[in-house]
Amino acid sequence: MTETTMIDDCFYIKTQRWGTFISVNKDGTSLITSLTEDQCINATRWYLKTKQEGFTDNNKGYDSVVGGKL
């Protein structure tokens, strides 16, 4: 059986039977999985804040060359 707690009236934290914690939106979408409840709450708050403020993923690619002989 999983335990469910509402946080900030925005998302739920569920305790999984194997001891991990997941956060779930009100619409049922899974968001974050963590080893501790505090980590799950903090990571979910950060994630939702970045989504609200329009934070985008950094999709830059990097290329490098190492010169010389081995």
Pair 23, 31: CB distance under 8 Å: yes
- Look up the pTM and report it: 0.70
Residue spans of the domains in the chain: they are 3-53
How far apart, in whole angstroms, are the C-alpha atoms of residue 31 and residue 44? 7
Q: 59: alpha, beta or left, given left = phi > 0 and alpha = psi -120 to 50?
A: alpha
Question: pLDDT for 3-37, tens place per residue?
Answer: 788 888 899 999 998 899 999 999 999 999 999 99
The pLDDT of residue 52: 87
pLDDT tier for residue 57 given thresholds of 50, 70 and 90: low
